[in-house]
Structure 1
Amino acid sequence: MPLRGDAFVLRTGDWVSFDDTDHQVVALSGTSVRLRSSDGSETVVLASYLMASPDFAVTGADPLPELEPSGLLSTVPASVLAAAQEWERHVVEVETGLPSDAAPGSTPRPEYEPATRSLAERDAAKAAELGVGIRTVQGRRYAYARQGLWGLVDQRTTRLANTTGRADARLVTVIEEAVAAETPASTGTRSRLIRRVIKQIEETHGPGVVPIPSRSTLYKLVDRLSTGRHTFGSAVTRRQTANRPQKPFTPTFAARPGEQVQIDSTPLDVMVVLDSGLTARADLTIAVDVATRTICAAVLRPVGTKAVDASLLLAKMLVPEPMRPGWAASLRMAASRMPHKRLLDVDARMQQAAAKPVIVPDTIVIDGGKVFLSDTFTRACNRLGISVQRARPRTPTDKAIVEATFSAINTLFCQHLAGYTGPNVSRRGERVEDQAAWTIPELQDLLDEWVLAGWQARPHDSLRDPYRPKKAISPNDEYASLVAACGYLPLVLRGEDYLELLPVSWRAINDYGIRIGYRTYDTPDLGPFRRQHSGHTTKRGLWEVHYDPYDLSQVFVRTPRGWVTVPWVHLPLVSARFADFTWQHARRLATETGLDNTNEAAVARVLDTLLPRAEHGPDTRTAKVAGRTRAGAASHRPPAPRAPEPAPSDRTTEPAEVIPFGVFDAHAEAERWL
Structure 2
Amino acid sequence: MGDRALQRRIANGEIKRSAPVDSTIRNWVRAWKRDGLLGLLDARSLRREQTWERIDERYRTVAELVFATLDGDRADANISELDRRIKVELKRAGHVDVSTPQRLTAEYLAHLKRGAGATTRTQRSRSLQRVSGKEHFPAIRPGQIVAIDATRADNLVYDPLLGRPFSVEILTAIDVATRVVLALRVVPKSADGIDAGLLLYDICRPFSMMVEGTTISHWRWAGLPQVVDASDVAVNVGRRSVAPDFTTLQGEHHIPGVMPDAIRADHGSIFVSDHFRAILRDFGIDLLLSRGKKPTDNPHVERWHETLQRAVQQLPGYKGRNTSERGRLVAEEALVTAAELEEHLRRFVALDYHRSWHTGLVIGGEPTARTSPLELWDIMLDVTGRIDVPQRADMIYQMLPVKWGTVGVAGVEFAEMVYDGKLLDDFRNVARGQFRDDDNKVPFLVDPHDLSSIWFPHPETGRVRPVAWRGSFFTDAPMTDTIVQAVRRRVRERGGNHILSRGSAQRQILDELTELTSGPVPTDWTAKLSAAHRRVEQSRKDHEEAQAAQGATRDEATQSGGNEARTKTPHTDSPQDDVPLDILDVPWPTMRADS
Q: TM-score band, normalised by the shorter chain?
A: 0.5 to 0.7
Partner of 2:302: 403
Secondary structure at 1:376 match in 2? helix
Residue in structure 1 matching 2:141, options 243, 256, 259? 256
Q: 1:328-347, CA deviations, whole angstroms, 9 ceiling, x for partnerless residues?
A: 699999xxxxxx99xx9539
Secondary structure at 1:512 match in 2? coil
Q: 1:590-619, CA deviations, whole angstroms, 9 ceiling, x for partnerless residues?
A: 899699xxxxxxxxxxxxxxxxxxxxxx99
Normalising by structure 1, report the TM-score: 0.59
User: Could you tell me how far apart the structure 1 residues matched to 2:502 and 2:87 are?
Assistant: 56
How far 1:639 moved relative to its partner?
A: 2.6
User: Could you tell me how far apart the structure 1 residues matched to 2:314 and 2:466 are?
Assistant: 42
1:183-582 residue pairs with structure 2 within 5 A? 183=71, 184-205=73-94, 209-230=96-117, 233-246=118-131, 249-275=134-160, 276-323=162-209, 345-346=236-237, 354-411=253-310, 413-464=311-362, 469-532=367-430, 533=432, 535-537=434-436, 540-561=439-460, 562=462, 563-574=464-475
Q: What one-letter code is carried by the residue in structure 1 that aligns with 2:312? A: C
Secondary structure at 1:285 match in 2? strand
Q: What one-letter code is carried by the residue in structure 2 that aligns with 1:365? A: R
1:613-632 residue pairs with structure 2 within 5 A? 621-632=524-535
User: Could you tell me how far apart the structure 1 residues matched to 2:465 and 2:240 are?
Assistant: 25
How far 1:498 moved relative to its partner?
A: 0.6
- Contact 1:264–1:367 under 8 Å retained in 2: yes
How far 1:350 moved relative to its partner?
A: 11
How far 1:369 moved relative to its partner?
A: 0.6
Q: 1:267-310, CA deviations, whole angstroms, 9 ceiling, x for partnerless residues?
A: 11112112222112220010000111110000001222121111
Q: What one-letter code is carried by the residue in structure 2 that aligns with 1:190? A: I
How far 1:489 moved relative to its partner?
A: 3.2
How far 1:644 moved relative to its partner?
A: 6.5
Normalising by structure 2, report the TM-score: 0.66
Q: 1:544-574, CA deviations, whole angstroms, 9 ceiling, x for partnerless residues?
A: 2111122110001223123341111122234
User: Could you tell me how far apart the structure 1 residues matched to 2:91 and 2:110 are?
Assistant: 22
Secondary structure at 2:127 match in 1? helix
Secondary structure at 2:172 match in 1? strand
- Contact 1:256–1:482 under 8 Å retained in 2: yes
User: Could you tell me how far apart the structure 2 residues matched to 1:257 and 1:432 are?
Assistant: 40
CA RMSD of aligned residues (A): 3.8
User: Could you tell me how far apart the structure 2 residues matched to 1:644 and 1:348 are?
Assistant: 33
Q: 1:474-520, CA deviations, whole angstroms, 9 ceiling, x for partnerless residues?
A: 12211111111111233232221111111222222222222211211
User: Could you tell me how far apart the structure 1 residues matched to 2:54 and 2:364 are?
Assistant: 54
User: Could you tell me how far apart the structure 1 residues matched to 2:429 and 2:362 are?
Assistant: 63
Q: What one-letter code is carried by the residue in structure 1 that aligns with 2:370? A: A
Secondary structure at 1:262 match in 2? strand
User: Could you tell me how far apart the structure 2 residues matched to 1:166 and 1:574 are?
Assistant: 74
Secondary structure at 2:142 match in 1? coil
User: Could you tell me how far apart the structure 1 residues matched to 2:469 and 2:216 are?
Assistant: 43
- Name the count of aligned residue pairs: 445
267-276 vs 353-362, which moves further: 353-362
- Contact 1:320–1:350 under 8 Å retained in 2: no
Distance 1:324 1:162, change over 3 A: same
Partner of 2:66: 178
Partner of 1:633: 536
Distance 1:422 1:247, change over 3 A: closer
Secondary structure at 2:267 match in 1? coil
Distance 1:295 1:574, change over 3 A: same
Distance 1:196 1:483, change over 3 A: closer
How far 1:622 moved relative to its partner?
A: 4.2
Highest CA radius of gyration, 1 or 2?
A: 1
How far 1:441 moved relative to its partner?
A: 0.9
How far 1:225 moved relative to its partner?
A: 4.5
1:48-59 residue pairs with structure 2 within 5 A? none
User: Could you tell me how far apart the structure 1 residues matched to 2:97 and 2:503 are?
Assistant: 63
Q: 1:26-74, CA deviations, whole angstroms, 9 ceiling, x for partnerless residues?
A: xxxxxxxxxxxxxxxxxxxxxxxxxxxxxxxxxxxxxxxxxxxxxxxxx
Distance 1:399 1:202, change over 3 A: closer
Q: What one-letter code is carried by the residue in structure 1 that aligns with 2:387? A: L
Identical-pair percentage: 24
User: Could you tell me how far apart the structure 2 residues matched to 1:393 and 1:591 are?
Assistant: 45
